[in-house]
Chains A and B, each alone.
Chain A
């Protein structure tokens, strides 16, 4: 253990590591809330002064043999989390070098099924109490488990939009786009903590994310052209210092925005249905579905109120109409709540809601006849 601790980069962690049995060594995956008191670590990350020393590390508890030999799937990773353990421990250098690989595998799992990392799938940890905090802020500043949940939800909404931008905007093949997204998630979001750097004064979060992806893609292209990449060398050019790439898709952010808008609405519909089920208001959901969603989305005829009266044992069509109004208000409230999760202020929420309407209007107006 002392030998392992000797290669540890953090003085704090070295002291903790020496007190642990070998079987209980853990690995730091370098998730977005990675933090170190070490000058070496700070220098490596290139963002001195921006680390929050109050935030604890994220840690796993798996035998080193397992980490080296078995790829981590999303559920294995989730199941291995042990929030009851305090303190963090470093593995030997040989294992730490696998960290980027682990992060990439984790990011692959997130890209394929990020939404699966719900509080329910993190075995036994139960449902987190959600608030109206910005998801972006929760990823950066919250509890590790909350941060992970927030990250998963955030990516579940934005990855389809980013994917659409790569495929339909920048004309990458779907396979290449998937590779780029996985690498972007692993390198920029997980390892370099992109989301910690999200600053509301610099613009909307979705715009910042798109710009970061565009810069990353151009950087990868330049890097691939410039040199052959060594498997051990995962470091890319620090694109923050690079000149702003030419915007080659100025007309196509609509695809990104429309896809983002679809995910926001899909999430709203999903959350509304869940809320109605959980609160025993199935009739509100059914009436909203029959009178609003199905006619608009499926071109179905609206179900007459009398049918809904008989179906739900209501007293009159007026009552059914009132329930529809309740459903509409619920939808509007939940939509606002979903948008608020990606916004850092009330002003931004209002702006995003206005944008949402404008995005679909522009998309429809620009559609070829």
Chain B
């Protein structure tokens, strides 16, 4: 049925919803959308995104990437590596903090939060290093929150699970 015909036949509540939704400037996301966005972010190169929001972070990344045998270029490679670069994890964590509050960001804050806690979990579980001042209880809540999300992929879920296990051992 053509859209205009549907409008003429629609319930009043539906028409009210259309008017309300058309006025909303905050996007609404399906779980599939968030999953797709996370995958897209993990596959994105690190340096251009850092440069977009913080030139100092971008410069630190370029210095890091210039090191010999440095082989990581994308967010997913840094977060899911079995031997990730610690400085790279710090830069991803800093980038995630910026994303959560920057006015120009288009990424949903949940995506930024997943990057944040995954970088911390990777540093704990795979580098045996803390890169945050957050206490263990807060970290447990954060890791568990991420694990409860239905749209994160298996690799990210594995890192968060390892981080939670690391905290349990300590």
List residues of A whose CB falls within 8 A of some B CB: 160, 258, 261-263, 265-267, 269-270, 273, 289, 292-293, 296-298, 302, 304-306, 309, 316-318, 321-322, 324-325, 328-329, 331-332, 335, 356-357, 359-361, 363-364, 367
Q: Nearest CB to that of B12 among chain A residues? A: A363
Task: Specify the chain B residue showing the minimal Cβ separation from A291.
Answer: B28
Q: Are B22 and A292 in contact (CB under 8 A)?
A: yes
Q: Would you call B4 and A269 a contact (CB within 8 A)? A: yes
* Complex contact B19–A335 (CB within 8 A): yes
Contact B4–A357 (Cβ < 8 Å): no
Contact of B14 among A297, A309, A357 (CB under 8 A): A297
- A262 x B8 contact (CB < 8 A): yes
Is there an interface contact between B33 and A305, defined as CB atoms closer than 8 Å?
yes
Contact between A297 and B23 (Cβ–Cβ < 8 Å)?
no
For residue B5, which residue of chain A has the nearest CB?
A: A266
Per-residue interface assignment for chain B, residues 127 to 138, with 1 indicating a CB less than 8 Å from any chain A CB and 0 otherwise: 000000000000
- Of the residues B5, B8, B22, B40, contact of A331 by C-beta under 8 Å: B22
Interface of A is mostly: helix
**B167: interface (CB < 8 Å):** no
Chain B window 1-33, contacts with chain A (Cβ cutoff 8 Å), 1 for yes, 0 for no: 101111110111111111111111101011011
Q: Give the total of B residues in contact with A, Cβ under 8 Å.
A: 33
Does B37 interact with chain A (Cβ within 8 Å)?
A: yes
Task: Assess whether B36 is interfacial by the CB under 8 Å rule.
Answer: yes
Q: Is the CB of A270 within 8 A of B19?
A: no
Top 7 A-B pairs, shortest CB-CB distance = A363-B12, A306-B36, A304-B32, A360-B16, A297-B6, A331-B22, A364-B13
CB < 8 Å: which of B1, B22, B36, B106 contacts A322? B106
Query: Counting chain A CB atoms within 10 Å of each CB, which of B12, B23, B25 scores highest?
Result: B12
Min distance, Cβ B134 to any Cβ of chain A, angstroms: 28
Cα(A304)–Cα(B31), bound, Å: 9
Task: Known A302-B30, A324-B27; judge A296-B37 contact (CB<8 A).
Answer: no
Residues on A with C-beta less than 8 A from B20 are 357
Contact of B107 with A by CB under 8 A? yes
Q: How far is the CB of B28 from chain A (nearest CB, A)?
A: 8
Q: Is the CB of B12 within 8 A of A292?
A: no
Decide if B33 touches A317 in the complex (CB within 8 Å): yes
Report the minimal beta-carbon distance from B14 to chain A, rounded to whole angstroms. 5
- Distance from A111 Cβ to chain B, minimum over Cβ atoms (Å): 17
The listed residue (A297, A305, A328, A359) touching B7 by CB distance below 8 A is A297
Q: Which residue of B lies closest to A361 (CB)?
A: B16
Q: What CA separation (Å) do A321 and B34 show in the bound complex?
A: 11
Minimum CB–CB distance for B105 against chain A, Å: 10
Contacts of B21 in A (CB 8 A): 292, 296, 328
A263 touches B3 (CB 8 A): no
Which chain A residue lies CB-closest to B19?
A357
Min CB gap A363→B, angstroms = 4
Sampled A-B contacts (17; CB under 8 Å): A263-B8, A265-B19, A266-B5, A266-B7, A266-B8, A269-B4, A270-B3, A293-B3, A297-B10, A298-B1, A305-B29, A306-B32, A317-B33, A318-B40, A360-B13, A360-B15, A361-B12
Complex CA gap A364/B5 in Å reads: 19
User: Quick check: A364 and B12 within 8 Å, CB to CB?
Assistant: yes
Whole-angstrom CA separation of A325 from B21 in the bound complex: 10
B74 vs chain A, min Cβ distance (A): 14
Other-chain residue from A258, A270, A332 in contact with B12 (beta carbon distance below 8 A): A258
